[in-house]
Structure 1
Amino acid sequence: MTYRVCFVCTGNICRSPMAESVFRARVAESGLEGRVGVDSAGTGGWHEGEGADPRTMAVLERNGYGLDHTARQFQVEWFSRLDLVIALDAGHLRALRRMAPTEQDAAKVRLLRSYDPAVSGGDLDVPDPYYGGADGFEECLEMVVAASQGLLAEVREQVEGRAA
């Protein structure tokens, strides 16, 4: 059975597709491809049907990541098929937990940067780069990459626990 992870930001054109691309690469490198499904969505539907922001695509390409993406809005019924819902900031975390139909579903929602071992407490948000320049997208990618290994360790543990 596939372990499913969905990254969620505001409009699903900057942070969450970036996190999806990076994490999909980590999953492939770790040999978990086929056992872990990776996806992304937005809390709102403002950009549904659009591709990722060109600045997201540019920073991913410069750093060796690929992405084929169409923005979409997170749906409440997805909770039943997802194992982990990764919020990119505290606002998304609150919104997703409010949407969750059960306490078990709410417990599936976590902040991405909580998986970064270099971040202890404090601000766990990945800032929205949309209204800024290219530097914000680079900073966003650095934060996503830093948290991805910790997230992968957690997911690997869950996947291997299911197989046991």
Structure 2
Amino acid sequence: MSAYRICFVCTGNICRSPSAEVIVRARAQDAGLDVDVDSAGTDSYHVGDGADERAVQALKNAGYDGTRHVARQFDEDWFAGRDLIVAMDRGHARILHALAPDEESAAKIRLLRSFDPDLEDLDHDDRRLDVPDPYYDRSAENHEFTEMIEQIEAAADGLVDFLAERTEHPA
């Protein structure tokens, strides 16, 4: 059996989705899961750029390395090569649904925070399921980036549990 394949998607692929990629990859590896994790943006604004330095710092503060990321744009052909497409907010989910070539592809789309055990009973249109975009946070402390990491981590454990039910554990 091949690895379970996941793509995290946000707007520019420099803050939220690369942070989710790094965190979930680490958590899945710690759990011994056979998972391939990547990320992309819905737009091409930052294709080729590294992760936002504030996201890299927030990841570092939480014990992760986000320095190797290179932003790219999601391609609708990727639906065929992924088992799960994880949107960072409802806007991204709408864009992904519009790109999905068929119902099977559309069924692969989930909101990241829907995996958070404290939020799993919310309606899929509830704004609390969004990971807010921290890009415009200009505070010296970058509170919104820290909050983003905390929200991703809260959902990551539920996502890893979801993956554990769907993947083989390497020997």
**TM-score (normalizing by structure 2):** 0.91
The count of residues paired between Structure 1 and Structure 2 equals: 160
RMSD: 1.4
Q: How does 1:24-103 map to 2 (within 5 A)?
A: 24-32=25-33, 35-67=34-66, 68-103=68-103
Residue 163 of structure 2 corresponds to residue 155 of structure 1: yes
Report the CA distance between 1:25 and its aligned residue. Answer: 0.7
Report the CA distance between 1:152 and its aligned residue. Answer: 0.7
Report the CA distance between 1:78 and its aligned residue. Answer: 0.4
Partners of 1:130 and 1:111 in 2: CA distance: 19
Structure 2: tracts of 5 or more residues without a match: none
Partners of 1:96 and 1:39 in 2: CA distance: 16
1:112-153 Cα distance to aligned partner (Å, 9 max, x none): 000001124142000000001300000100100000011111
Percent identity over the alignment is: 51
Give the equivalent residue in structure 2 for 1:124.
129
1:76-110 Cα distance to aligned partner (Å, 9 max, x none): 10000100000000000010011000100001000
Q: Counterpart amino acid of 2:110?
A: R
Report the CA distance between 1:155 and its aligned residue. Answer: 1.1
- Of Structure 1 and Structure 2, the greater helix share is in 1
Q: Which runs of 4+ in 1 moved over 2 A?
A: none
1:23-47 Cα distance to aligned partner (Å, 9 max, x none): 0110111112xx2100000000100
Give the equivalent residue in structure 1 for 2:109.
109
Give the equivalent residue in structure 2 for 1:139.
147
**TM-score (normalizing by structure 1):** 0.94
Residue 28 of structure 2 corresponds to residue 23 of structure 1: no
